[in-house]
């Protein structure tokens, strides 16, 4: 992106940021139906066989609408089971691979590295994340991830768990992790750069604001997208319009809320697992990353992709109406309301010490 393009997108992004911040401070905002929220269009989509693919922001890449979550491929007792899930996903058209330096103490990256050995590496868009906030710690984690993944580059590197209001300033500090990522990008170790988080949309907006002040453009942003999110600290309502204004691709996650959202909607009869996936796919995101810890769960995700037809706004409103009461206090989105899913809170040493 040249300077003129950046300044143009930054101006549009600043306007979107102001609108989003206003929405966040407006109490009725979370209660209005999705049809009353002005959302950007869905990214360009094309179907190849049974799998839809979408444009990834301004990167020029097309990624599968389903992404294979990295945490869940480190849960199997046998390594061969993890590799079988990864191979089946790729052979079925999934080209977006998610991972992280800290998943299962590196086991997820090690298993994915083995699974991608040979020709499969060039068939996928490989993403991983790092926790380090200081430049030195981030650089070390980047190199460790590359070694585990058995590759000389990742397609996307993301700053993991932007959960605290100080995280953006730590990333962009003079000795912050952004400088390690940029150097890795210049060295050919990293193609694109993004960030993730699941705690509060206002922290994501702060990350955009700090990046804008440093003249930096994020290629991607990852956050929760699900049928509960629209009613409580909504990333979908508040962050996606800002991301789109910046030309930043949205990566959705936590469709099932680990299992808490899925368990509730199935018990209440509000929706099925496939309907939850279809709701996520109907949002203006590039890829919906979902954890598949078995071939059966992977098959369910592949079926959702094969049968996907965008939900109408009326259909989305009807589904959200069924989850409004249950979602209002974040009871089933524990990643927003507790530290249960905050790995860097449980292991602050992964962040590293600044200065």
Say what the pLDDT of residue 55 is: 98
Per-residue pLDDT, averaged over 20-31, amounts to: 50
Alpha helices, DSSP H only, in 25-65? none
| Structural domain boundaries in the chain | 3-26+44-338
pLDDT in tens, 279-325: 999 999 999 999 999 999 999 999 999 999 999 999 999 999 999 99
Structure token pair of residue 246: 């910046």
User: For position 36, what pLDDT does the model report?
Assistant: 75
Tell me what the mean pLDDT of segment 180-185 comes to: 98
Q: Are 20 and 242 in contact (CB under 8 A)?
A: yes
As separate numbers, helices (DSSP H) first and strands (DSSP E) second, the chain gives 15, 11
Q: Return d(Cα 193, Cα 268) in angstroms, integer.
A: 40
Which band of pLDDT confidence, cut at 50, 70 and 90, is reported for residue 27? very low
In 10 A of CB 352, how many CB atoms?
A: 18
Q: Are 325 and 265 in contact (CB under 8 A)?
A: no
Distance CA 224, CA 345 (A): 19
Unique residue bearing structure tokens 């709701």: 279
What is the tens place of the pLDDT at every residue in 131-178? 999 999 999 999 999 999 999 999 999 999 999 999 999 999 999 999
**DSSP secondary structure, 54-122, as one string:** EE-TTS--EEESEEE-SGGGG--SSHHHHHHHHHHHHHTT--EE---TTGGGGHHHHHHHHHTTGGGGG
- Residues near 193 by Cβ (< 8 Å), separated by ≥ 6? 156, 157, 158, 181, 182, 185, 218, 219, 220
* pLDDT tens-digit map of 89-147: 999 999 999 999 999 999 999 999 999 998 999 999 999 999 999 999 999 999 999 99
Edge-to-edge strands, sheet with 51-55: 45-48, 51-55, 62-64
pLDDT attached to residue 24: 57
Residue 28 pLDDT > 80, yes or no?
no
Q: Do 238 and 200 touch, CB atoms closer than 8 A?
A: no
Q: What percent of the chain has pLDDT over 70?
A: 90
User: What is the pLDDT at residue 33?
Assistant: 75
Give the C-alpha separation, 290 to 258, whole Å.
10
> How many angstroms separate the Cα of 306 from the Cα of each of 25, 299, 319?
39, 10, 21
Please name the residues in contact with 148: beta carbons below 8 A apart, sequence gap of 6 or more.
106, 109, 110, 113
Predicted TM-score (pTM) of this structure? 0.91
Q: For the segment 205-234, what is each residue's pLDDT rounded down to a tens digit?
A: 999 999 999 999 999 999 999 999 999 999
Q: Which of 253, 249, 250, 166 is nearest to 207 (CA)?
A: 166
The DSSP code for 295 is: H
Mean pLDDT of 270-277: 96
Stated as kind and residue range, the H or E segment containing 222 is strand 220-224
Q: What is the largest distance, in Å, between two alpha-carbon atoms of the chain?
A: 53
Cβ contact 241:40 at 8 Å: yes
CA atoms of 40 and 30, how far apart (whole Å): 18
Q: Read off the pLDDT of residues 57-82 as tens digits, 9 standing for 90 and up.
A: 999 999 999 999 999 999 999 999 99
Residue pair 231/194 in contact by the 8 Å Cβ criterion: no
For position 218, what pLDDT does the model report? 98
pLDDT at 189 over 80: yes
pLDDT category at 6 given cuts 50, 70, 90 is low
User: Residue 134 pairs with which residues in a beta bridge?
Assistant: 176
Determine what percent of the chain is predicted with pLDDT higher than 90. Answer: 85
Contact of 295 with 85, CB cutoff 8 Å: yes
Fold category of 3-26+44-338 in CATH: TIM Barrel (3.20.20)
Q: Kindly list the distances between the CA atom of residue 340 and the CA atoms of 12, 101, 243, 283, 346, in Å, as whole numbers in the listed order.
A: 36, 19, 27, 27, 9
Q: How far apart are the first and last CA of the chain?
A: 31
Helices (H), 150-284: 167-171, 177-186, 201-213, 235-238, 240-246, 260-268, 273-281
pLDDT value at position 26?
43
Token pair 């650089």 in the structure block, residue: 139
pLDDT value for 185: 98
Identify whether the C-beta of residue 257 lies closer than 8 Å to the C-beta of residue 43: no
């Amino acid at each position: 992106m040249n300077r003129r393009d950046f300044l143009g997108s930054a101006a549009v992004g600043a306007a979107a940021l102001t609108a989003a911040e206003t929405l966040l401070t407006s109490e009725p905002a979370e209660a209005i139906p999705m049809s009353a929220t002005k959302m950007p269009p869905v990214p360009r989509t094309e179907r190849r066989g049974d799998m839809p693919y979408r444009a990834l922001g301004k990167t020029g890449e097309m990624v599968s609408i389903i992404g294979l979550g990295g945490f869940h491929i480190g849960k199997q007792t046998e390594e061969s089971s993890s590799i079988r899930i990864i191979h089946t996903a790729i052979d079925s058209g999934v080209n977006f691979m998610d991972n992280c330096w800290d998943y299962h103490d590196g086991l997820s990256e090690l298993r994915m590295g083995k699974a991608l050995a040979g020709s499969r590496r060039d068939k996928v868009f490989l993403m991983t994340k790092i926790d380090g906030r200081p430049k030195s710690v981030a650089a070390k984690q980047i190199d460790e991830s590359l070694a585990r993944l058995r590759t000389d580059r990742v397609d996307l590197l993301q700053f993991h768990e932007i959960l605290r209001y100080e995280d953006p300033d730590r990333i962009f500090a003079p000795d912050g992790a952004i400088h390690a990522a940029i150097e890795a990008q210049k060295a050919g170790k990293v193609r694109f750069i993004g960030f993730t988080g699941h705690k509060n949309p206002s922290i994501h907006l702060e990350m955009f604001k700090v990046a804008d002040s440093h003249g930096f453009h994020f290629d991607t942003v990852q956050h929760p997208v699900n049928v509960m999110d629209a009613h409580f600290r909504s990333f979908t309502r508040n962050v996606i319009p800002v991301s789109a204004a910046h030309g930043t691709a949205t990566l959705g996650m936590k469709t099932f809320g680990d299992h808490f959202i899925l368990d509730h909607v199935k018990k209440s009869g509000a929706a099925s697992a496939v309907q939850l996936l279809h709701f996520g796919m109907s949002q203006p995101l590039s890829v919906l990353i979902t954890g598949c810890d078995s071939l059966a769960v992977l098959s369910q995700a592949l079926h959702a992709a094969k049968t996907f037809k965008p939900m109408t706004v009326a259909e989305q409103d009807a589904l959200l109406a069924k989850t409004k009461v249950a979602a209002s206090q974040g009871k089933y989105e524990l990643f927003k309301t507790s530290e249960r899913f905050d790995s860097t809170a449980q292991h602050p040493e992964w962040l590293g010490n600044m200065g």
